[in-house]
Copies of this chain bind each other. A is one copy, B any other.
Amino acid sequence: MYVVVPFSPERPKTRLAPALAADEREALAWAMLADVLEAVRETGHTPTVLTTAPLEPPRVPETDHLADDLWADLETVVDDRPLSTAVNALLEAAEDSAALVMADLALATPDALETLFAADADVAIAPGRGGGTNALVVRHPGFRVDYHGTSYLDHHDRVRAIGASLESVDSFRLATDVDEPADLVEVLVHTDGYASTVLERLGFSLTVTDGRVGLER
């Protein structure tokens, strides 16, 4: 299966600005990409990164735990068009089944991805919070993505429109894209990978105030 991980190296993760400076967001974005690539590789598949610009990993202390061989033989496709356009170009060219896995799924595990990859519907979708589509598998030549808005519901409509079968994959780990400061809590609670290490190096830890969990730095 052709496994594609879309990534945007230019000014990534702007919605994390309340918690992280620009270079810190960049370090975290690359660390999350590394976590996702590693999880994909552990399922036995070779990921291809669909990127808006050639990949140049940052050389900063926060990411010096990301070994060069993470990127050494990495398949990449550079396409600076909007995400849905670029993804659909790859789906059109794909000869067989394809999977799309977002680069900010820091909680993704090989088990969660294998459950998705093993779904035998024409289209299998792992929803994100807020009606998003965090990961999907496409085995039907007529399916195209549209990531704008309530993509989860729109993708349902498209699957129906082309007469394909659909499966929704119920995974908290795949539903958790790291977009906003509150999401950083999930990285610290549920992972110990590259992204978690970046957050620890940046001085973040969990706190409990009035019975609720938050972050302190």
Contact = CB atoms under 8 A, between A and B. Distances in A.
A60 interface: no
A55 interface: no
A186 interface: yes
A161 interface: no
As for how many copies of this chain the complex holds, the number is 2
Given A172-B170, A172-B175, A130 B182 contact: yes
Interface in A166-217: 170-176, 182, 185-186, 189-190, 206, 208, 211-213
6 contacts: A131-B213, A148-B211, A149-B212, A150-B189, A172-B172, A172-B174
Contacts of A131: 185, 189, 206, 213
A7 interface: no
A208 B149 contact: yes
Contact of A190 (B111, B127, B171, B189): B127
Contact of A149 (B150, B170, B213): B213
A190 to B, nearest CB: 7
Contacts of A173: 170
Nearest to A175: B172
